Amino acid sequence: MGDEVIVVAEQGVLEVTINRPKQRNAMTRGAAEAIARAMERLEEDGGLRCAILAGAGGDFCAGMDLKGFLKGELPVDARGGFGGITTWTPGKPVIAAVDGHALAGGMELALACDLIVANRDAKFGIPEVKRGLVAAGGGLVLLPRLLPRQLAMELALTGDPIGAERAAELGLVNRVTDGPAIEAARELALAICTNGPLALEVSKAIVRDSWLWPIEEINTHQNPYVRRVFESDDAKEGARAFAEKRKPEWKGR
């Protein structure tokens, strides 16, 4: 049996591919732990700026491996939760490249990423109720924050999927492509990687963490994040490179 997750680093981008195509990349504990290790590598490696999470064989992830579930196995990592990324994500950006099915935990896996690129034929949904289960990997919490309550409720209670174009209309998907999602995800990743690494991490942190900030306390919470950037060598280099009409040479500090 080959590796359940394939990890390749190139041009500052860590590509993490779920490699169970015959099972539509249904998640196992081993795969979840492997994804978690890849995300820890992204966090720790100064040469990496961004990650892409994809699935092999034309599907992203069809959710939990039900055969494993019946044996008592839950596809979770101790730190990262379902799929190794739903309860903890690295400070650096992660892009989901979705082909085929992103269902149940597969949709929750995509929502745990920071951006989503999808092939036009991709399907998104949380059909757990059809199996007598509950979308416990974050779907029932994230969707009401990302969508109008009634739409989130429809997805949760019917379990019916939506297509990539509808998901894009609702703001769940960044880009819809006619080709393989991984190709469009690579373009997006490289565009991200040209920017200041510290600025990227802080921007991601503010976008994610500010969901919980009271409106009257935004500056109080945001200032410690922003101070790290404005006092950094990268901030000075960015201004200097702009003035000198050249590409910046980022140090990540």
Q: What are phi and psi for residue 37, nearest 5 degrees? A: -65, -40
Q: Is 154 among the residues known to form the active site? A: no
Q: Token pair for residue 80?
A: 């990262």
Three-state SS for 49? Answer: coil
In one-letter notation, the amino acid at residue 96 is: A
**Residue 25 and residue 56 in contact, taking contact as beta carbons nearer than 8 Å:** yes
Q: Reduced to 3 states, what is the DSSP secondary structure of residue 235?
A: helix
C-alpha span between 12 and 87 (Å, rounded)? 24
Question: Do the Cβ atoms of 18 and 66 come closer than 8 Å?
Answer: no
Query: What's the rounded Cα separation, in Å, for the pair 185 and 175?
Result: 9
Catalytic residue among 108, 154, 216, 217: 108
User: Would you state the structure tokens that stand for residue 61, as one six-digit string?
Assistant: 């992830």
- The single residue of 15, 33, 128, 201 carrying the catalytic annotation is 128
Catalytic site includes residue 128: yes
| φ/ψ (deg, to 5) at 88 | -150, 130
User: Which tokens in the block code for residue 115?
Assistant: 């951006």
The residues that are catalytic are 108, 128
